[in-house]
Structure 1
Amino acid sequence: MLANPQFNRSALPDFLLLGFSIEGQRRFYLFLLLTSIYIATITANVFIVVIIKADQRLHKPMYFFIGGLSFLELWYPSVTVPRLLWSLKTEDQHISIAGCLTQFYFHFSLGATEMFLLTAMAYDRYVAICNPLRYLMIMNPNICTILILGSWACGFIGVIGPVLRISTLWYCRGNKIDHYYCDFAPMIHLSCSDTVKAENVFFYTTLFITVGCLLLTLTSYGCITRMIIKCPTASGRRKAFSTFASHFFVVILFYGTIMFMFIRPANGNSLHFNKIVSVIPSIVTPLLNPIIYTLRNQEVKEAVLKTAQAMMTC
């Protein structure tokens, strides 16, 4: 039987986000490193969005999705990184229960949104390679807009259930969360309530979204691979592969770390290790995504060089 939420709030006014247990100069160096990564992430993704918006040559469905992903990557790290930087700078680890639940909701909602968006981008690459003559007709502006908005809607609606379940729990086993953001497993370990329903809702929601999106993405990749194999010329195969190679690398990087954390048992040692691994999808990947798409796409590179030259001549 769940405890009264009012008693929960009066008994535990806030949590402590322990973050990374380092002191002195190393703490300062970590602050500088993460600040640099965060600024670079925001700058790179804003740059990609502006370039795609400004350059007429990039007004195509594929770049519309790349711009949508870069826009998402502006918000995904912003849910956790500024709070982490504040903690490193001031050593203030406190976060209210309401603030913790809000951070949990937006972090996982944006993560789910990225899964749905990567699935939509995989479908876009499938149509471009397997049905090129009808590509622009199928992936028209209305469909692209529906896919992007649908990704955001599904991401934010899908996480409501776990958040509602967690919000009813009673926390009495201390208030120290061994993480730099409000993650599910560390919060559950602090609860004295029956957490079975909350764990089941979170598990099946995560399983449905992660495995469902990954299977749809792999299905698109399977169709693309079959089409590439059937291509009669080596140059044709290289050209076909290059059109989805960037997306393939991003998917491996994003899903690889998430699946690694998902299949590990939720014990004390794995919780600490997952905290370190979670830096990759939450902080590193949002910076690498625009770099990957820029380095492996000739049109984007040309647009970047053109924009940079225009800025230097101003």
Structure 2
Amino acid sequence: METLNRTVTEFILLGFSMGHQEEILLAVLFLAMYITSLAGNILIFCIVLGNTQLHTPMYFFLSNFSILDIMFTSVISPQLLWNLFSGDKSISFSACMAQLYFYFLLGTVEFFFLTSMSYDRYAAICKPLHYHTIMSSEVCAKIGLACWLCGFLSVLCPIIQISRLSFCKSNSINHFFCDSGPLLELSCSNIRFIELMDFMLSSVVIVGSAILTLISYSCIISTILLIPTTSSRKKAFDTCATHLTLISISCGISIFTYVTPSQKETLNAHKVPAILTTTVCPFLNPFLFTLKNESVRDALRKTVRKTRDIIIECFLTTRKGNTVVLGESH
């Protein structure tokens, strides 16, 4: 990509306006959150993969969401941690464009998966007798593939256009990662078409996901209210509440950040919601939206007991073998 842009070879990520000692403390906090996020999401994926009782559409989407969280936070966090710990704020042009592409690719795919999860909940609650036909393994695989393909195609064109711009105003990005708004601010090319394209694509993905989710949940809530027993209604609401909370937070932050015709006036205000989406949410998601699920907790307890039994058995076998060897030596 550097051959397409001869005006700059690297950018400087200004990040946060604070001293180096404060940045070190912030880096330690982000590092702890990043490691916890990786561990939590890897644990969820392994639990779902290793437990046949969780091989259902709902947990198929949750495990995919865990993988997306791992990849999404890994696009931003390593570079951010390096910048904060070392004080070196530079990032090459190619690395910046790659970070920009994968940030929007994975973010877009997450929205598509969240929308698919709302359809899965609609089928489970509103069409229970036909659920396994509607959400068969083949259908789930096709939905997953479509989410990735649509994300790839929708993000590719804007990123190619941005990579071809001339950045002659400055090479200092007023952000802690390569986001589209701060990058476009540095360009001396005509960016109106790219801004319009970004606005239209963001509106279709984010607002479209929110509308489809609202339609699904309108049907879901109407069906739940018809359930005769209070305990069954509560169980159905609990199943859907976490997903609805997650997509509400994601849509709210993304609409504020990206679904605006021009972002020039609010660029400084974008750092806090960006921290929430890139660091805090991937850290909280495993605990708030998956590990609180009773089925996942049961599977986790079984896995822990099984692992404990294997360790004890290996220890006893090793100890018995050592005893036999010592006895023979005497």
In structure 2, the partner of 1:56 is 52
* Per-residue deviation, 1:262: 3.1
Please give the per-residue CA displacement for 1:129-176, whole angstroms capped at 9, x wherever unaligned.
001111112111111111112111111111112112212211111110
Letter in 2 for 1:133: L
- 1:266 partnered with 2:263: yes
- 1:19 partnered with 2:15: yes
1:34-73 equivalences in 2 (<5 Å): 34-73=30-69
Out of 82, 86, 89, the residue aligned to residue 82 of structure 2 is 86
* Per-residue deviation, 1:297: 1.4
1:132-281 equivalences in 2 (<5 Å): 132-262=128-258, 266-268=263-265, 270-281=266-277
- Distance in 2, matches of 1:27 and 1:311, equals 40
In structure 1, the partner of 2:117 is 121
Please give the per-residue CA displacement for 1:69-106, whole angstroms capped at 9, x wherever unaligned.
10111100111110000111111111122211111110
- Distance in 1, matches of 2:200 and 2:249, equals 23
- Distance in 2, matches of 1:53 and 1:115, equals 23
Percent identity over the alignment is 38
**Tell me, which stretches of 5 or more residues in structure 2 are unaligned?**
312-330
Q: Tell me the secondary structure at the aligned position of residue 91 of structure 2.
A: strand
Letter in 2 for 1:164: I
Q: Tell me the secondary structure at the aligned position of residue 5 of structure 2.
A: helix
Q: Tell me the secondary structure at the aligned position of residue 267 of structure 2.
A: helix
In structure 2, the partner of 1:31 is 27
* Per-residue deviation, 1:293: 2.7
- Distance in 2, matches of 1:202 and 1:263, equals 8
Please give the per-residue CA displacement for 1:179-238, whole angstroms capped at 9, x wherever unaligned.
111111101111111111111111111111111111111111111011112222222211
- Distance in 2, matches of 1:105 and 1:310, equals 41
- Distance in 1, matches of 2:37 and 2:187, equals 35
In structure 1, the partner of 2:296 is 300
TM-score, scaled relative to structure 2: 0.89
Deviates further, 241-250 or 201-210: 241-250
Letter in 2 for 1:152: W
Assess if the C-alpha contact under 8 Å between 1:246 and 1:296 holds in 2. no
- Distance in 2, matches of 1:263 and 1:12, equals 28
How many residue pairs align between the two structures? 308
CA-based RMSD of the aligned residues comes to: 1.6
**Tell me, which stretches of 5 or more residues in structure 1 are unaligned?**
none
